[in-house]
Structure 1
Amino acid sequence: MSTKNRIKINQLLQSQPSGTVFLSSWLVEHGYSHDLLRRYKSSNWLTSIGSGAMIRTGDKVGYEGALYTLQQQGGVPVHLGGKTALALQGRAHYLDLNVQQLFLFCGNNSTLPSWFLNHDWGYRITPIHTSFLPYDIGLTSIPHKTFTLKVANPERALLECLYLTPRVHSLLECYEVMEGMNNLRPKQVQLLLEKCTSIKVKRLFLYMAEKANHRWFDYVDTEQVHLGSGKRAFAREGGVYNSKYRITVPKELED
């Protein structure tokens, strides 16, 4: 390999944190031709993990490094959310960690590439395509080894849990999470509730927050949160109706 090409591969390898993925499209945009990338692979500098994605040969890459690449190189509006985000931030220590399931929230029009979905990351990847909340609010960054990941902050993650009820989580399970949320930020809660387009999520959140008697709830202006019209039922039989939020919930939750 010429000195020029050796300098170029060294620049490539140093351009991204260790433990992450390189996207072919991103590399081409940054001056690495497809022919040059093929030579790097044949020289065992890079190893393909699927169409359009490579890693440093011998590098150990987990789902975190792949997600970092989607967020930073790919510009994909995707983040760890719901119970996954809560667990990563130490907000849901009692959750069943044996399931090994990751909830990835992405926009309705977002597509996760096949190299990411088909690779065995050691977890069950569950993409949630929804726009019930704007993508650019309620996110925070958490460190992982040599890089950071965008994840839902606790306020948004709780709303995402409620979005998945009752299909994925039970109402009782979500309420147990809510009970532990005694230090949410009222301004962040207010913003998210006002921007949320899911009537179900907003009604359940307010009902559970009031029931849990959290102090921060006193600082949320519920008059500014649009709760729609009509009734909503979340219990098939033997439910209890809450007239304030016009929802029917399971009796065991009300009790």
Structure 2
Amino acid sequence: MQEAPKGQPMDAKQLAELGVSLAMASYLVQQGWMYRLSSGAYMLTGDKPTRDGVIVFLSRKIHGLHVGGKTALAWRGVRHNIAFRERVQLWGRTPYKFPEWVSDVMLYSYQTTRLFDKGLAYESWLTPLPLGHPGVLVSSVERGLLELVSDVGKGQSLEEANNLAVSLRTLRVPVLDELLLHCPRVKVVRLVRDLGLAAGYEWGRDLQKHVDRISKGKRWSVLTKQGERLTLKP
């Protein structure tokens, strides 16, 4: 009980690492020392799951789980609108059916969109926050920008993406170049170029080379979920 992580649900494997078998876990539940959130998720009595604790727990189930997109930007100090209750944008490599109790702890969305080719390791530019939980991976600002842009037209407004890009004065050009080099998605690459040009910062220059690499000479257009036509120049 002293070694059990606070605020973090424990699964059978983690209990075993603490020397507790499933039979013992059932006994502890019956005796009131622990309670079961759902199948394979336990908490010490008197303890409640926290947002970060839940993400760490889910990271044991979902390969590559991380906080991405607009949430990653906000957690790293880049935000435009402050929501009354934040929706945590989670990204991962594999589909997963989330237990119902996760929604009681935090609002969240989850997607498995693959933004990069196999030449870039999935875990690239995912790190914990400097003062955050070491088990919670968060996209860098540069990766978060690409994830944000990928959601434009799917619930993310272009206007907010523009407003956030204006706040990204200190993006690291080498990191952005590496990510764009391995991104085969036309919409993402062109939108990053357009946002960079509009922002007028150093990182927004010389991005046309990435557009030409994957879609030279053709307009790109899509109908968004909001019924608007998004057209991006070559």
Normalising by structure 1, we get a TM-score of 0.77
The corresponding residue for 1:47 is: 35
Query: Match of 2:75, as an amino acid?
Result: L
Decide whether the 8 Å contact of 1:184 with 1:216 is kept in 2.
yes
- Separation (CA, whole Å) in 2 of partners of 1:17 and 1:221: 45
Mapped pair 1:127 → 2:110: yes
Q: Distance in 1 between matches of 2:53 and 2:228?
A: 47
Contact 1:159 1:201 (C-alpha < 8 Å) held by counterparts: yes
Of 23, 47, 50, the residue aligned with 1:59 is: 47
For structure 2, list consecutive stretches of 5 or more residues without a partner in the other structure. Answer: none
- On the 8 A contact 2:10/2:42 being kept in 1, the answer is yes
**CA offset at residue 232 of structure 1?**
0.8
Aligned to 1:106: 92
Unpaired runs of at least 5, structure 1: 1-9, 247-255
The structure with the largest alpha-carbon Rg is: 1
Q: Deviations over 1:49-98 (max 9, x none)?
A: 11110112111322211101222x43632111111111111111x32412
Q: 1:224 to 1:86 in 2, by over 3 A?
A: closer
TM-score by length of 2: 0.83
Q: Which residue of the partner structure matches residue 20 of structure 1?
A: 8
How many equivalent pairs are there? 226
Letter of the aligned partner of 1:132 in structure 2? L
* Residue 223 (str. 1) matches residue 222 (str. 2): no
Offset of residue 121 of structure 1: 3.1
For 1:1-255, list aligned pairs within 5 A: 10=1, 13-14=2-3, 16-28=4-16, 31-71=19-59, 73-74=60-61, 76-92=63-79, 94-107=80-93, 110-115=94-99, 117-133=100-116, 135-142=122-129, 147-218=134-205, 222-223=208-209, 226-229=213-216, 230-233=218-221, 245-246=233-234
Distance in 2, Cα, partners of 1:70 & 1:47: 18
Moved more, 202-211 or 75-84: 75-84
2: distance between equivalents of 1:113 and 1:46? 24
CA distance in 1, matches of 2:66, 2:144: 10
**How well do the aligned residues superpose, as a CA RMSD in angstroms?**
2.8
**2:74 alignment partner, SS class:** helix
CA contact (8 A) 1:19 1:61 kept: yes
- Is the Cα contact below 8 Å between 1:140 and 1:153 reproduced in 2? yes
Deviation at 1:153, TM superposition (A): 1.1
**Which SS does the other structure have where 2:128 is aligned?**
strand
